[in-house]
């Protein structure tokens, strides 16, 4: 089996892992935000713990295999630079916005029992968690667009800017208004 096909396979597997990670992250953020007790929040916290492994490993696999594919066959192109930038942004946003907050939430909420305190509810409903989730989903879609369409450098920059703008624009729709069924879009 040629190395190129094997590298391409693992590049795609890594991309699937990134997609799964951001999708599960979004579900966990919504689940945490609707939790009223520590027992309700705990499974979502466990979900985030598993994402600490899957997300970075998938990101690293995608990057390493993508760099190999670029060096061996594709050469440096605008869409590759855009894809690389998008993946780095996904990792940075996840680490800075979600990772730092989860490092505080886990120890505070994980061992708790019964109803969440006001401080715990505030931490679980931090709007930065929603922003991080929506930005990363939008960037994943943007990077997938770049990998599929392969636009010029200017087109790649435009795609990433649009993705970030859309991710930020949809975030206020999930401002935290809740109903018995869970998180609902706001009616602003």
160 in any annotated domain: yes
Residue 65: both structure tokens together: 């295999």
Helix axes 78-93, 153-170, angle to 10 degrees: 30
Length of the chain: 188
pLDDT (tens digit, 9 = 90+) per residue, 4-42?
999 999 999 999 999 999 999 999 999 999 999 999 999
pLDDT (tens digit, 9 = 90+) per residue, 63-115?
999 999 999 988 889 999 999 999 999 999 999 999 999 999 999 998 899 99
185 in any annotated domain: no
Residue 35 domain boundaries: 3-177
The pLDDT of 36-55, averaged and rounded, is: 90
44 in any annotated domain: yes
Q: Measuring CA to CA, which residue among 12, 48, 188 is closest to residue 132?
A: 48
Residue 92: both structure tokens together: 């940075």
DSSP category for residue 169: H
% of the chain at pLDDT higher than 70: 91
pLDDT band, residue 49 (cuts 50/70/90): confident
Residues sharing a CB contact under 8 Å with residue 36, sequence separation 6 or more, in sequence order: 115, 116, 121
Q: How many domains, the chain?
A: 1
Report whether pLDDT(180) > 60.
no
186 in any annotated domain: no
Average pLDDT over all residues of the chain: 89
In this structure, the number of other CB atoms found within 10 A of the CB of residue 22 comes to 24
123/25 Cα distance (integer angstroms):
16
13 in any annotated domain: yes
pLDDT band, residue 169 (cuts 50/70/90): very high
Q: Measuring CA to CA, which residue among 26, 38, 18 is closest to residue 174?
A: 26
170 in any annotated domain: yes
Are 30 and 48 in contact by the 8 Å Cβ rule? The answer is no
pLDDT for 89: 96
161 in any annotated domain: yes
pLDDT for 110: 86
Residue 29: both structure tokens together: 């953020």
187 in any annotated domain: no
pLDDT for 116: 95
Q: What is the pTM of this model?
A: 0.85
């Amino acid at each position: 089996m040629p190395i190129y096909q094997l590298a391409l396979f693992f590049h795609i597997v890594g991309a699937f892992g990134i997609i799964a990670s951001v999708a599960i992250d979004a579900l966990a953020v919504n689940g945490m935000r609707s939790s009223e007790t520590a027992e309700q929040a705990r499974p979502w916290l466990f979900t985030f713990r598993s994402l600490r492994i899957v997300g970075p490993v998938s990101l690293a696999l995608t990057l390493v295999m993508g760099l190999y594919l670029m060096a061996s066959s594709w050469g440096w192109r605008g869409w590759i630079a855009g894809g690389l930038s998008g993946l780095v942004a996904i990792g940075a946003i996840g680490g800075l916005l979600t990772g730092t907050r989860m490092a505080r939430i886990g120890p505070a909420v994980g061992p708790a029992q019964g109803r969440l305190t006001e401080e715990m509810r505030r931490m679980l409903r931090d709007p930065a968690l929603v922003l991080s989730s929506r930005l990363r989903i939008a960037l994943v879609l943007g990077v997938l667009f770049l990998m599929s369409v392969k636009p010029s450098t200017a087109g790649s920059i435009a795609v990433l800017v649009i993705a970030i703008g859309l991710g930020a624009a949809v975030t206020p729709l999930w401002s935290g208004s809740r109903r018995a069924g869970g998180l609902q879009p706001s009616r602003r």
